[in-house]
């Protein structure tokens, strides 16, 4: 008969095992929260000069799923925002937010 040698594994401290699993869980949750935050906050803007008097700004969010297009035209009394329904608004009357 052959003798099998069974090696004993050193016993792990249960307190250490508990904190190790809690740390792993917290780290996993932080990674998930980070990925969700990046997905929600992702934004890309493109500025195009169309002709001599127009600027088109395209803002894309959620990896192209949502797109907002604004067309600005230089008028006699200043810059005018042309809306999709044909309505025009003076930029002087609109709040302007600049992000980089």
User: Using one digit for the tens of pLDDT, what is the confidence trace for 1-42?
Assistant: 566 766 777 777 888 888 889 999 999 999 999 998 887 778
Is residue 90 within 8 Å of 80, Cβ to Cβ? yes
SS3 40: helix
Query: pLDDT category, 90, cuts 50, 70, 90?
Result: confident
Tell me, what DSSP letter sits at residue 26? Answer: H
Position 65 pLDDT exceeds 80: no
Task: List the structure tokens of 10.
Answer: 């050193």
Query: Which residues, listed in sequence order, are joined to residue 48 by a DSSP beta bridge?
Result: 56
């Amino acid at each position: 008969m052959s003798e099998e040698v069974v090696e004993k594994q050193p016993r792990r401290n249960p307190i250490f095992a508990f904190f190790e699993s809690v740390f792993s869980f917290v780290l996993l949750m932080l990674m998930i929260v980070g990925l969700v935050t990046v997905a929600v906050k992702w934004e890309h803007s493109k500025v195009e000069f169309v002709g001599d008097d127009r600027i088109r700004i395209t803002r894309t969010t959620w990896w192209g799923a949502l797109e907002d297009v604004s067309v600005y035209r230089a008028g006699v009394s200043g810059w005018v925002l042309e809306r999709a329904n044909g309505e025009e608004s003076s930029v002087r009357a609109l709040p302007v937010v600049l992000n980089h």
